[in-house]
């Protein structure tokens, strides 16, 4: 049974400005170390971080009626084939389906939460 849907969009240059201003402290407040392992500084570094941030926000929106989460409670990773998935730091009886996309200026994510029966 679907219990929530969330969507979020991030303007990449706003995320870049926040990261450049806040540095490592800002990144550490939002992202878990394992999320950052395979995001190497590259020309799409800020797009990737923006997409992960949008995914976290989408998950929070999808789960807002089920469980209270912080950004650090949510870990956005990729399967071997590149598909994103969500790992929660809290135990729940939920599956999270995730879709992420990004282009030069924007990153968008959609999350659907399903109760496991």
Q: Rounded distance, CA 108 to CA 56, Å?
A: 11
Right CATH for 2-115 from 3.30.2310.20, 3.40.50.1700, 3.90.470.20, 3.30.1120.130: 3.90.470.20
* Length of the chain measured in residues: 117
Secondary structure element (H or E) that encloses residue 87, with its range: strand 84-88
Instruction: Mention every residue, 6+ apart, whose C-beta is less than 8 A from residue 2.
Output: 112, 113, 114, 115
* C-alpha dist (Å) from residue 103 to 11, 45, 54, 74, 100: 10, 11, 13, 23, 11
Q: Where are the domains of the chain?
A: 2-115
Among 27, 38, 30, residue whose Cα is nearest residue 77: 38
Q: Can you tell me the distance from the alpha carbon of 98 to that of 71, in angstroms, rounded to the nearest whole number?
A: 15
Predicted pLDDT at 91:
84
Give me the average pLDDT of each 10-residue run along the chain (117 residues).
96 96 94 89 90 97 90 95 93 93 97 92
What's the confidence (pLDDT) of residue 38? Answer: 80
**pLDDT value of residue 53:** 98
Q: Are 88 and 80 in contact (CB under 8 A)?
A: no
């Amino acid at each position: 049974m679907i219990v929530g849907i969330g969507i979020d969009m991030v303007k990449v240059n706003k995320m870049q400005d926040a990261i450049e201003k806040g540095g490592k402290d800002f990144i550490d407040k939002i992202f878990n170390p394992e999320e950052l392992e395979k995001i190497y500084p590259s020309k799409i570094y800020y797009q990737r971080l923006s997409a992960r941030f949008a995914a976290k926000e989408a998950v929070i929106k999808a789960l807002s009626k089920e469980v209270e989460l912080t950004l650090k409670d949510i870990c956005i990773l990729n399967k071997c084939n590149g598909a994103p998935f969500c790992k929660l730091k809290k135990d729940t009886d939920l599956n999270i389906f995730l879709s992420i996309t990004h282009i030069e200026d924007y990153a968008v994510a959609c999350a659907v939460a399903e109760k496991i029966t």
